[in-house]
Structure 1
Amino acid sequence: MNNHGYLKFILTVLVLVIAFFGYMLVTAVDRVRESNLRILEKLEALPGRIQFPAVVPAGGFPGGVAVSPAEQGSPVANAVFFDPQAETGGRLILATAADTANMNYLINNDAAAAEFSALCNSSLAERNYEKPEEFQPLMAESWSVSEDHLVYRIKLRKGIYWHDFTDPVTGKKHTDVEVTAADFKFYVDVVKNPDVNCEPMRGYLQDLKEVKIINDYEFEVHWSRPYYGSLMVTLGLSPMPRHLYHAYDGPFDGRRFNDDHVRNRMIVGCGPYMFVRWDKDRRVIFRRNPRYFGIRYGAAPALEYIVYEIIKHPNTRFQALLSGDLDRLDLTPEQWVQRTDEKPFRDGTLKRYKYLAFSYTYIGWNLRNPLFADAKVRRALTMLIDREKIRKDVYFDLVETATGPFSPTSSYTDPEIKPWPYDPSAAKKLLAEAGWRDEDGDGILEKDGRKFSFTMLQAATSPTQQRMMPMIKETLAAAGIDMKIQNVEWSVYVQRLEEQTFEACCLGWTSPIDPDPYQVWHSSQAGIRGSSNHIGFRNAEADAIIEELRRTFDMEKRIELARRFCRILHEEQPYTFLFVPYSLVAQSGRYRNVRVFPTGMPESLFWVPRNEQRPVPGL
């Protein structure tokens, strides 16, 4: 997770989670860092008012405050957690359940593309693994913040270089190209360009007014209005290689950027790993960057290769783990309970790690469909789903029942809200109040001549969905509701969501404790193709709360607003909130310096003794 840049801060965007955590209901990518939203802000709730890092007077910046590396406790973020005795070399082979469309994370709402790019890029700062309320310098040497939180002045480290590459179109070689302030401005300009297909990401920068370049190593980020997340977004900015994406004369062309299929098959970054190659439908390979700037600060990964094998079937992935062809896998609850008594787990060849994930799963009802327009109907649907039975029979009690979009450990979650119970009698009464009755005696409810019949999308690669959906179908049928199940490949699933041509879906989101619900829940996002608000939720009161939450810095007020928002979602039930899963990780015992932090297990800290290192097959 080290140096994963803006992608790791706001990997919320959206991206429709390719079924994260291996057992999340859309398990299309068997990796812990999935995120529809591209928000991976896994923070502890902060008491009182927002706390900025230790500050000193900002010379030449009237009314501002500055942060220096010394006050942050480390010259580079999280350097103290890297093992100075680590031996370089070795590999980490992971698995994903589906290939990605391209490697350009801005235009590809796929969690895999975001994760691949995160390996290759860095950001201005990064949260401390152990104390995630603290930001520490990464690409930034220091920064200053105006008292009104509208202007951030950034000073870059010198000697940070882009990965060398040969342009696949022009054949021009690019070597020794230093990262400058212009590369950060280029990133912001690309995201804010209306012709670029990155609507989810653009929502987080909507109040970012401009980037002003002072010189090659200094720039200012100006915000048009106070925004609570401006610190996170600013310090999470990553540069973008202009020499790759604007390798032509004239102004930047957003449509050309979208359609640059050849360049969008590669990644050029400045981070700890370099993109080696992408074997379509087989594997993606990354190699350690020998010129990564973190090396000189003792904050660089030791593993030489990170490889993602594309293995569609969950049993095949598990067998690959047992045989040593995979080094790490996020297990399903069924695998965790029933398969980890095998020899590699007993003799220590494989080790298990379990911790509560910052995510939740849900069923989303497309509110554009008249079937789901009435909140009474949506509450009835929730009360017809026996989540306790699913929790026990499908998830083996390795999940917690969700009540809303925030982590159950977060102060933003309203403890007074309890999950709607499984109560078929009360649900039938709500349906009758909404006008749904079985007029012709065929066992299916109807209203105004329309049968209560709809289709639920099911991810073809998700064993949990395949077990759960028939259970839901059965309990709905007992109440007179006909739910059809459509099993689709992940690429089709994503397309249906982006085009909003679905009736009901089952997905998961990351769940930041310090939230900005704008992208998923604000009405302005409901009509946008590819939006995270794919269900089309619109609520004026919720909009007002979201907007106030974005400009409120007082923590007590933020908690009050967030709980009001949770109560609206609880009553409206645009989602049936399902479960908060546990991350269930199986990993080779070869790895040293394996640690679990509030934000997860940073793979960048892992290392393997030289006599236990293994090569990458085929290299």
Structure 2
Amino acid sequence: MLIIKRVMLAILFLLAACGSKPDEGGEGSTHTGSGDGTPRRGGTIIRHLESDCKTLNWIRITTIYENYVLRYLYDNLLDYDENLNIIPVLAEEYEVSDDHLRITVRLKDDLKWHDGMPITSKDIRFTMDKILDPAVPALNKEGWFTKLDKLEVVDDKTVVFVWKEPYAPSIYALTQFAPIPEHVYGKGDFLTNPANRRPVGSGAFRFEEWRTSQMISIVRNDLYHGEKAYLDRIIFKVIEDRSVALNALKAGELDEMRVIQVQWEEQTNDQDFLSRFNKYYYYVPGYNYLGWNCRSVWFEDKRVRRAMTELFDRESINAKLYSGYAKLISGPFYINSWAYDKSIKPWPFDPEDAKRLLDEAGWVDSDNDGIRDKNGVKFEFEFSITSSIIAKQFAEILQEQCTKAGIRLKIRMYEGATLFDRMSKGHFDAIAVAWILDLDPDIFDTFHSSQVPPVGLNHVFYSNPQVDSLLELGRVEFDQEKRAQIYNEVHRLIHEDQPYTFVNAVPEKRPIHKRIKNVVISPTGPFNFYPGGIYWYIDDTSQRAER
């Protein structure tokens, strides 16, 4: 779930560790402009993708990398601006009925797809039908609309979203809704449609080329309904190794990237680097976590899951890997959200209590071979991670404590897209990843028992009837104080059950080349709002000096 979306998107590496606060960037809304404040047209920028996309079908989006690209190719009906206010984008206006059951949306005039065909209400109807089609794995979309009763098409420019009952996140749902063209996706098999790799969208840029595991390029859309973009082209370059990516950044082969602690503190502070790059530091709603597959023989018991948490020294990780800047967390909500219960403290690092819990759950070393066992099954499991440096450090720290506790942890590294595919199917024992969260605290899709693979994002197969009931109640309560009480109880129950080891919330850090102007850093970062990076432009003087 991106910050401006409700459903979570998995980051297939852990959020980068944080070092000291930079002088060049900072938290809050930050702008950069050209020397004379006049935008200039033309040029190409190269953005970093930490992993390749699986698809460019907006409905089937599952990773943050796809969102990076699709943000430019598709516009939502509504979106957030840099101050997190909801604004119309494809919509000219919208109206919510007093009973919260109807949201009327009127499209702008003369909207066109990238191929020149008009965008109409029929495309909105087609898109909704596909989101709700059981044969379409719309993991990051379908959950928004489970309470939708129907979509009424009034005319070519007007639709009404009619809800079965009052639904608190309903207006946020429309920030998650970007129509796709029926005349393109309505032909042939939706799941194998060529447009999944060559999309026809509505955004300020249109698709140009995709070389698998290498790059994706997009170019300015001159049919765009809003002000036209300044850049000619944006290239997304796939580089999974962070060290290689940083070398590419320094060599002028990338214009921006997210960096980890050692890169932030030790490798990007020399005079030459600081003369060429602005360094931005910002917290985003999200957290790192370890996920325990609750249907596995090892992690079906919550006592075992809590034991695993108590074997993971998060305070030491915060001090050593994050220089003390990460915030330890105890539950599934954004730490600064009204839904997060700050009275619930994280479970402590306590190896001795972890051993007690394992004994209590029946995992003992019955044959004195140094490995715990139960009913003839050894406590030997695979811990799935990407090749991220931070993920590897997490795994090794946990592995050391598991060994001392009589558990054999085998680290298995996967390429990012492969790991997410396994994660989305629940094909893992334990996993280290992260979530980016939406501003609305509804976490139905990740913790309700109905949302296990392949339907939703509850990839750990967590199930608690009390949590299910509370999540359902939270979706129909509009009073924020009452809704906060509901989610505080959800927080407490999930904290007790530990389907995740909730690790920490950390800020992102991103150097961006100084030749790029009109960069806005909102509370959601530089991209996850409207217009995000659409109106970046290149300062000619800087470009000549660098390129």
What per-residue deviation string (whole Å, max 9, x for no partner) do you get for residues 54-111 of structure 1? Answer: xxxxxxxxxxxxxxxxxxxxxxxxxxx9997322223321111332233223235333
Relative to structure 1, the CA distance from residue 141 to residue 492 in structure 2 (aligned partners, 3 Å threshold; closer, same or farther) is closer
Show the counterpart of 1:3.
none
The answer to whether the Cα contact below 8 Å between 1:89 and 1:613 also exists between their aligned partners in 2 is no
Relative to structure 1, the CA distance from residue 280 to residue 450 in structure 2 (aligned partners, 3 Å threshold; closer, same or farther) is closer
- Give the 5 Å matches for 1:236-385: 236-247=176-187, 256-260=189-193, 262-295=194-227, 300-346=228-274, 348-385=275-312
Show the counterpart of 1:566.
491
Query: Is residue 2:485 matched to residue 1:555?
Result: no
The answer to whether the Cα contact below 8 Å between 1:91 and 1:615 also exists between their aligned partners in 2 is no
Show the counterpart of 1:392.
319
What per-residue deviation string (whole Å, max 9, x for no partner) do you get for residues 421-453 of structure 1? Answer: 111122122222222222222222222232222
The answer to whether the Cα contact below 8 Å between 1:18 and 1:112 also exists between their aligned partners in 2 is no
1:535 aligned counterpart, secondary structure: coil
Aligned equivalent of 2:50, options 97, 110, 133: 97
Which residue identity is paired with 2:503? Answer: L
Q: Deviation of residue 14 (structure 1)?
A: 4.2
Which residue identity is paired with 2:480? Answer: M
What per-residue deviation string (whole Å, max 9, x for no partner) do you get for residues 119-152 of structure 1? Answer: 111122222312x2x3222221112221111111
Provide the rounded CA distance (Å) in 1 between the counterparts of 2:417 and 2:77. 33
Query: Is residue 2:541 matched to residue 1:611?
Result: yes
Provide the rounded CA distance (Å) in 1 between the counterparts of 2:283 and 2:209. 34
Relative to structure 1, the CA distance from residue 600 to residue 108 in structure 2 (aligned partners, 3 Å threshold; closer, same or farther) is closer
More deviation, 483-492/105-114: 105-114
Relative to structure 1, the CA distance from residue 615 to residue 267 in structure 2 (aligned partners, 3 Å threshold; closer, same or farther) is farther
Provide the rounded CA distance (Å) in 2 between the counterparts of 1:140 and 1:108. 22
Q: Deviation of residue 224 (structure 1)?
A: 1.2
- Give the 5 Å matches for 1:138-153: 138-153=89-104
The answer to whether the Cα contact below 8 Å between 2:282 and 2:508 also exists between their aligned partners in 1 is yes
Provide the rounded CA distance (Å) in 1 between the counterparts of 2:52 and 2:152. 38
1:209 aligned counterpart, secondary structure: strand
What per-residue deviation string (whole Å, max 9, x for no partner) do you get for residues 567-601 of structure 1? Answer: 01111111001111111111111222333222212
What per-residue deviation string (whole Å, max 9, x for no partner) do you get for residues 306-350 of structure 1? Answer: 11011122111000111111110100112111212234334x211
Structure 1 runs, 4 residues or longer, greater than 6 Å off: 81-84, 614-617
Aligned equivalent of 2:382, options 455, 464, 483: 455
- Give the 5 Å matches for 1:61-140: 85-130=38-83, 132=84, 134-140=85-91
Provide the rounded CA distance (Å) in 1 between the counterparts of 2:234 and 2:370. 54
Show the counterpart of 2:410.
484
What per-residue deviation string (whole Å, max 9, x for no partner) do you get for residues 268-293 of structure 1? Answer: 11111111111222211111212211
2:516 aligned counterpart, secondary structure: coil
Q: Deviation of residue 553 (structure 1)?
A: 0.2
Query: Is residue 2:423 matched to residue 1:497?
Result: yes
Which residue identity is paired with 1:185? Answer: R
- Give the 5 Å matches for 1:213-232: 213-232=153-172
Provide the rounded CA distance (Å) in 2 between the counterparts of 1:97 and 1:138. 29
1:598 aligned counterpart, secondary structure: coil
Query: Is residue 2:347 matched to residue 1:414?
Result: no
Which residue identity is paired with 2:101? Answer: L
Relative to structure 1, the CA distance from residue 279 to residue 436 in structure 2 (aligned partners, 3 Å threshold; closer, same or farther) is closer
1:294 aligned counterpart, secondary structure: coil
Show the counterpart of 2:21.
none
Relative to structure 1, the CA distance from residue 502 to residue 415 in structure 2 (aligned partners, 3 Å threshold; closer, same or farther) is same
Q: Greater relative contact order: 1 or 2 (C-alpha under 8 angstroms, separation 6 or more)?
A: 2
What per-residue deviation string (whole Å, max 9, x for no partner) do you get for residues 239-298 of structure 1? Answer: 211111114xxxxx6xx11122x2321111111111111122221111121221111xxx
Query: Is residue 2:361 matched to residue 1:434?
Result: yes
Relative to structure 1, the CA distance from residue 448 to residue 279 in structure 2 (aligned partners, 3 Å threshold; closer, same or farther) is closer
Provide the rounded CA distance (Å) in 1 between the counterparts of 2:463 and 2:501. 16
- Give the 5 Å matches for 1:586-601: 586-601=511-526
Provide the rounded CA distance (Å) in 2 between the counterparts of 1:614 and 1:158. 40
The answer to whether the Cα contact below 8 Å between 2:14 and 2:391 also exists between their aligned partners in 1 is no
Q: Deviation of residue 20 (structure 1)?
A: 6.3
The answer to whether the Cα contact below 8 Å between 1:303 and 1:606 also exists between their aligned partners in 2 is yes
The answer to whether the Cα contact below 8 Å between 1:438 and 1:480 also exists between their aligned partners in 2 is yes
Show the counterpart of 1:73.
none
Provide the rounded CA distance (Å) in 1 between the counterparts of 2:175 and 2:71. 15
In angstroms, what is the RMSD of aligned CA positions?
A: 2.5
Which structure 1 segments of 5+ residues have no match? 1-5, 25-42, 44-80, 165-175, 248-252
Which residue identity is paired with 2:39? Answer: A
How many residues get paired? 529
The answer to whether the Cα contact below 8 Å between 1:303 and 1:607 also exists between their aligned partners in 2 is yes
> Under a length normalisation based on structure 2, what TM-score does the superposition of the two structures give?
0.91
The answer to whether the Cα contact below 8 Å between 2:218 and 2:235 also exists between their aligned partners in 1 is yes
2:440 aligned counterpart, secondary structure: coil
The answer to whether the Cα contact below 8 Å between 2:255 and 2:512 also exists between their aligned partners in 1 is yes
Provide the rounded CA distance (Å) in 1 between the counterparts of 2:14 and 2:349. 26
Query: Is residue 2:505 matched to residue 1:580?
Result: yes
Show the counterpart of 1:197.
137
Provide the rounded CA distance (Å) in 1 between the counterparts of 2:237 and 2:151. 39
The answer to whether the Cα contact below 8 Å between 1:358 and 1:510 also exists between their aligned partners in 2 is yes
What per-residue deviation string (whole Å, max 9, x for no partner) do you get for residues 32-68 of structure 1? Answer: xxxxxxxxxxx9xxxxxxxxxxxxxxxxxxxxxxxxx
The answer to whether the Cα contact below 8 Å between 2:94 and 2:103 also exists between their aligned partners in 1 is yes
Relative to structure 1, the CA distance from residue 225 to residue 494 in structure 2 (aligned partners, 3 Å threshold; closer, same or farther) is same
Query: Is residue 2:124 matched to residue 1:184?
Result: yes
Provide the rounded CA distance (Å) in 1 between the counterparts of 2:251 and 2:112. 39
Provide the rounded CA distance (Å) in 2 between the counterparts of 1:270 and 1:326. 26
The answer to whether the Cα contact below 8 Å between 2:384 and 2:432 also exists between their aligned partners in 1 is yes
Relative to structure 1, the CA distance from residue 534 to residue 499 in structure 2 (aligned partners, 3 Å threshold; closer, same or farther) is same
Relative to structure 1, the CA distance from residue 267 to residue 565 in structure 2 (aligned partners, 3 Å threshold; closer, same or farther) is same
Which structure 2 segments of 5+ residues have no match? 19-27, 527-531
Provide the rounded CA distance (Å) in 2 between the counterparts of 1:525 and 1:138. 30
Q: Deviation of residue 513 (structure 1)?
A: 3.9
2:71 aligned counterpart, secondary structure: helix
Relative to structure 1, the CA distance from residue 397 to residue 424 in structure 2 (aligned partners, 3 Å threshold; closer, same or farther) is same
The answer to whether the Cα contact below 8 Å between 1:424 and 1:479 also exists between their aligned partners in 2 is yes
Provide the rounded CA distance (Å) in 2 between the counterparts of 1:513 and 1:550. 14
Provide the rounded CA distance (Å) in 2 between the counterparts of 1:20 and 1:324. 26
Show the counterpart of 2:108.
157
Provide the rounded CA distance (Å) in 2 between the counterparts of 1:95 and 1:319. 12
Which residue identity is paired with 2:257? Answer: L
Relative to structure 1, the CA distance from residue 195 to residue 493 in structure 2 (aligned partners, 3 Å threshold; closer, same or farther) is same
The answer to whether the Cα contact below 8 Å between 2:53 and 2:65 also exists between their aligned partners in 1 is yes
Provide the rounded CA distance (Å) in 2 between the counterparts of 1:301 and 1:359. 30
Provide the rounded CA distance (Å) in 1 between the counterparts of 2:63 and 2:522. 25
Show the counterpart of 1:233.
173
Which residue identity is paired with 1:281? Answer: S
